[in-house]
Structure 1
Amino acid sequence: MNIAVYLGSSMGKDPTMKEMTQKVGEWLAENHHTLVYGGARNGLMGVVADSVIAHGGHVIGVIPQFLEEKEQAHDNLDELHIVDTMAERKTMMIELADAFITMPGGPGTLEEVSEIISKIRLGQLSGPCILFNLHHYYDPLKAQIDQMITFGYVDASIYDAVFFLSSMDELKQIIK
């Protein structure tokens, strides 16, 4: 299975985020899943790619040309697609992936997972969309989705394909 992982191009301040990212990469490789990600060597993005590579897994990166230098495109991937725009990057990653995992990250990560959730709601993707909610990082997003449900903008069935979890055991249950 091809699994897109969305996550920060920086490390952040909490070392447990890096540790969980390494575990996700290891799990992907050991379960013969292909990582699809943003193509960078920096931050948590580099951590997940390096972890998959270190454990013998397959990695596909997608990076816009203007970020190739800034985010330091990873030079040890099985495939690296260089595209023109961020929109092309998001589209290609979605087209290549069968499932989606979101680790902690910044505004770009939030934009990407928001698009995945929207496409699930519109029936353009079936998911699953998994948000690693380490240290309650994505609690505000979950609260916003709950608010959308309360106000009638989203049906509660969104949670049939969008999952907030905090452990590898939960991940293993969702993606079998």
Structure 2
Amino acid sequence: MGRAICVFCASSSRIDRRYLDLAAETGAELARRGHTLVSGGATVSCMGEVARAARAGGARTVGVIPEGLVSVEISDEDNDELIVTPDMRSRKGEMDRRSDAFLVLPGGLGTLEELFEIWTARVLGMHDKPLVILDPWGVYDPLRDLMTGLADQGFARPKIFDAVGWTDSVPEAFDLLERTQPRIEATAEDYTEAVAGPPGE
């Protein structure tokens, strides 16, 4: 039985065409494997591409968009289900609730916010849903280096990398999303770091 896979991706119209093509390939592969798409509910940029490609392949699509962005982002009325939330915070909560796994494509500030929220909750053992970053052209290489540096300096534990898969391949991304992921057991020390940083700060 297919999963509900949430795809976080760009809404910018200024990006290179290859990122739009990646979103379309992602939507097509999601449909081919019998999954449901959960996404940001807009017709623009990668959000629109992934949803259109998923529907073209026969997948069910669920869009979640905040009321304030309906006119700004142009809500995707072709979704099988379009949910309008009061604000961004409730939007993310609804997307999380409806999803069995999370796939992150190259994106901007909003995509990073979504990634970090899901990643942090996974590290803290609050969910065991698979999280995968699909990055064929190294957009997130500086992020990976940053997180490695933070771990090296004690600001994060090495197990943060156990909570996320990285790949440059669409098929491999879905292979990772379809696997059962072990829950990461958090300790009291993990929660202390999440709130206050490492000792001595």
TM-score range, shorter chain: over 0.9
TM superposition shift of 1:154: 2.3
TM-score for both structures, normalised by structure 2: 0.83
Matched-pair contact (CA < 8 Å) for 2:26–2:170: yes
Matched-pair contact (CA < 8 Å) for 1:17–1:134: no
* Pick aligned residue for 1:60 from 41, 59, 62: 62
TM superposition shift of 1:157: 2.1
Aligned alpha-carbon RMSD (Å): 1.3
Q: 2:137 corresponds to which residue? A: 135
Runs (5+) with no aligned partner, structure 2: 179-201
TM superposition shift of 1:156: 1.9
SS in 2 for 1:136: coil
The equivalences for 1:69-148 within 5 A come to 69-148=71-150
The equivalences for 1:4-23 within 5 A come to 4-23=6-25
Alpha-carbon displacement from aligned partner over 1:128-159 (angstroms, at most 9, x marks no partner): 21111121001111112212221223222222
Sequence identity (%) = 35
TM-score for both structures, normalised by structure 1: 0.95
In the alignment, the residues of structure 2 paired with residue 15 and residue 54 of structure 1 have an alpha-carbon distance, to the nearest angstrom, of: 19
Runs (5+) with no aligned partner, structure 1: none
97-106 or 150-159, which moves further after superposition? 150-159
Higher Cα radius of gyration: 2
In the alignment, the residues of structure 2 paired with residue 84 and residue 95 of structure 1 have an alpha-carbon distance, to the nearest angstrom, of: 16
Structure 2 residue 136 is matched with structure 1 residue 155: no
19-28 or 7-16, which moves further after superposition? 7-16
Indicate how the Cα distance of structure 1 residues 19 and 133 shifts in structure 2: closer, same or farther if over 3 A, else same: same
SS in 2 for 1:100: strand
TM superposition shift of 1:104: 1.2
Moved over 4 A (4+): none
